[in-house]
Amino acid sequence: MSFYSELSVKTLCIGVLLFSSTFIASASSSIPDPEPSTGWQDKEAVRAGRFMAVTAHPLATRAAYQLLKAGGNAADAAVTAQLVLNLVEPQSSGIGGGAFMLYWDAVNKKLFSFDGRETAPDAANADYFKDSTGELIKWREARLGPRAVGVPGTLSLLHTVHQRFGERPWSELFAPAITLSREGFAVSPRMAKSIEGSKEYLNRFPATREYFFTDQGDPLPEGYRLTNPNFAQTLELIAEQGISPFYEGSIGKKLIQTLQEASGRPALMTMQDLNRYRTLSRPPICARYHDNAICGMGPPSSGALTVGQILQLIERFEVARMGFDPKSIHLVMEASRLAFADRARYMADSDFVEVPVSGLLDRDYLRGRSQLIRLSNSMGKASAGNPPGATIAHAAMQQFEPAGTSHFSIVDAQGNIVSMTTTIESGFGSMLMTQGFLLNNEMTDFSFRASKAGRPIANRVEGSKRPRSSMAPTIVFDRSGVPTLVVGSPGGSRIICYVAQALIGILDWQMNPQQAAAMPHFCNRNGTTDIESHTGAERFSAALTDMGHEVRIRNLNSGLHLIQRLPSGELLGGADPRREGLVLGD
d(C-alpha 212, C-alpha 191), whole Å: 10
Q: How confident is the model at residue 132 (pLDDT cuts 50, 70, 90)?
A: confident
Sheet strands side by side (includes 483-487): 46-48, 571-575, 561-565, 483-487, 474-477, 292-296, 285-289
- The top-scoring range by mean pLDDT among 134-138, 523-527, 532-536 is 523-527
Q: How confident is the model at residue 428 (pLDDT cuts 50, 70, 90)?
A: very high
| 347-385 pLDDT, tens digit each | 999 999 999 999 999 999 999 999 999 999 999 999 999
Q: How confident is the model at residue 37 (pLDDT cuts 50, 70, 90)?
A: low
Q: Is the model's pLDDT at 20 over the cut of 80?
A: no
How much is the pLDDT for 18? 34
Are 178 and 185 in contact by the 8 Å Cβ rule? The answer is no
d(C-alpha 315, C-alpha 319), whole Å: 8
Are 21 and 179 in contact by the 8 Å Cβ rule? The answer is no
| 207-254 pLDDT, tens digit each | 999 999 999 999 999 999 999 999 999 999 999 999 999 999 999 999
Phi, psi (deg, nearest 5) at residue 478: -80, 180
Cα→Cα distances 456→130, 152, 374, 459, Å: 17, 26, 32, 9
Residue 331, helix vs strand vs coil: helix
How much is the pLDDT for 36? 56
Q: Which residues contact 514 (CB under 8 A, 6 or more apart)?
A: 43, 44, 45, 46, 573, 574, 575
| 162-173 pLDDT, tens digit each | 999 999 999 999
Q: Is the model's pLDDT at 505 over the cut of 90?
A: yes
Q: Which has the closest alpha carbon to 526: 372, 348, 322, 350?
A: 372
Domains of the chain and any CATH numbers: 9-282+402-585 (3.60.20.40)
DSSP 151: B
How much is the pLDDT for 41? 86
d(C-alpha 469, C-alpha 301), whole Å: 4
Per DSSP, the residues of 34-87 read SS----------EEESS-EEEESSHHHHHHHHHHHHTT--HHHHHHHHHHHHHH
Whole-model pTM over 0.95: no
Question: Is residue 537 packed enough to be buried (19+ CB in 10 Å), middle (13-18) or exposed (0-12)?
Answer: buried
Q: How confident is the model at residue 391 (pLDDT cuts 50, 70, 90)?
A: confident
Cα→Cα distances 195→144, 211, 220, 295, 467, Å: 15, 11, 7, 35, 26
The region that residue 536 occupies, defined by phi over 0 for left and psi between -120 and 50 for alpha, beta otherwise, is left
Q: Which residues share a beta bridge with 406? A: 422
Average pLDDT over residues 527-542: 95
Average pLDDT over residues 267-280: 98
d(C-alpha 315, C-alpha 304), whole Å: 16
For the annotated catalytic residues, the residue numbers are 405
Q: Which residues share a beta bridge with 573? A: 46, 563
Are 312 and 363 in contact by the 8 Å Cβ rule? The answer is yes
d(C-alpha 120, C-alpha 25), whole Å: 23
How much is the pLDDT for 13? 37
Per DSSP, the residues of 240-299 read HHTTHHHHTSHHHHHHHHHHHHSSSSPP---HHHHHH---EEEPPEEEEETTEEEEE--T
How much is the pLDDT for 38? 59
Q: In the chain, pLDDT over 90 holds for what percent of residues?
A: 86
d(C-alpha 579, C-alpha 36), whole Å: 9
Summary mean pLDDT of the chain: 92
Residue 238, helix vs strand vs coil: helix
Q: Is the model's pLDDT at 40 over the cut of 90?
A: no
Q: Is the model's pLDDT at 429 over the cut of 50?
A: yes
| 516-529 pLDDT, tens digit each | 999 999 999 999 99
| 437-482 pLDDT, tens digit each | 999 999 999 999 988 888 899 999 999 999 999 999 999 999 999 9
Q: Provide the pairing of β-strand 285-289 with 280-282.
A: unpaired
Evaluate the CA torsion angle 157, 160, 164, 165 in order and state its sign. Answer: positive
Are 451 and 395 in contact by the 8 Å Cβ rule? The answer is yes
Per DSSP, the residues of 157-184 read HHHHHHHHH--S-GGGGGHHHHHHHHH-
Cα→Cα distances 52→90, 185, 337, 379, 540, Å: 23, 23, 35, 43, 36
Q: Provide the pairing of β-strand 522-524 with 483-487.
A: unpaired
CB atoms within 10 A of CB 125: 15
How much is the pLDDT for 495? 97
Alpha-carbon Rg of the chain, whole angstroms? 22
d(C-alpha 316, C-alpha 290), whole Å: 10
